[in-house]
Amino acid sequence: IHRNVTSQQEVRQYTGRLRSVFDQSFDIGETSFRTTASFGIAHYPQHGQTPLMLYRSADSAVILAKSSGKNREMEFDSEQDTEHRIRLDLSERLEQAIRKSELSLYFQPIVDLRSRQTIGAEALLRWKEPELGFVAPDVFIPIAEETGQILEIGRLVLAQALEALSQWNRVAPGFSVSVNVSPGELGRPGLISDVSALLARYQV
């Protein structure tokens, strides 16, 4: 709590001094580390008239600061807070959708223009939320990437796609299925072993 603040510039100077404390490297063994700090700013009484309300406003502001690039300060903004709460609600609904298997795959055919034969399909993830209806992938995928839910979703997509492919290959050998992989998944430890295990399970 910083009392008797007279200007926004004073707040920025104060958080700047705090951030400079963290903005110093330190060594552990032969490895050098550097920390950063993000700050959420809430003013009394504009952003809350009780300690709890001020805390919630400051907490919302620091979350927005982290999501905007980290290592910065951000003042509470009611419009941004509303957007944040909407994204948080979607994240919670998405978590339930994963648990309840509400995510499903739609397959878009891939056609060879010369032979005019369907030679494969692209697996497209779709989410029909019970109350919201269909939620566009460009809405929920970024949220899943931010929260880490994309890793579990990626496993589900790959498993469902390979299960479908194993069935199609019985009647159409050589048929292929492509899946979209998030950049966050590519660096996940165990990705190769997970893919290998699923390929062996579904014999494709």
Q: What is the pLDDT of residue 118?
A: 93
Alpha helix locations (H) across the chain? Answer: 8-22, 51-67, 78-99, 137-147, 149-171, 183-186, 191-202
Output the pLDDT for position 10.
Answer: 87
Backbone dihedral angles phi then psi of residue 3, each to the nearest 5 degrees: -95, 160
pLDDT number for residue 67: 73
pLDDT value at position 68?
A: 73
Provide the pLDDT for residue 74.
Answer: 86
Q: What CA–CA distance (Å, rounded) separates 108 from 148? A: 26
pTM: 0.63
β-pairing, 31-34 vs 103-112, is unpaired
Residues of the chain falling short of pLDDT 50 = none
What stretch(es) of the chain map to CATH 3.20.20.450? 84-202
C-alpha neighbours within 13 Å on the C-beta side of residue 73? 17
What whole-number distance in Å separates Cα of residue 24 and Cα of residue 60?
26
CATH architecture for segment(s) 84-202:
Alpha-Beta Barrel (3.20)
- The helix/strand/coil state of 30 is coil
Per-residue pLDDT reduced to its tens digit, 39-83: 888 888 888 888 878 888 888 888 878 877 778 888 888 777 777
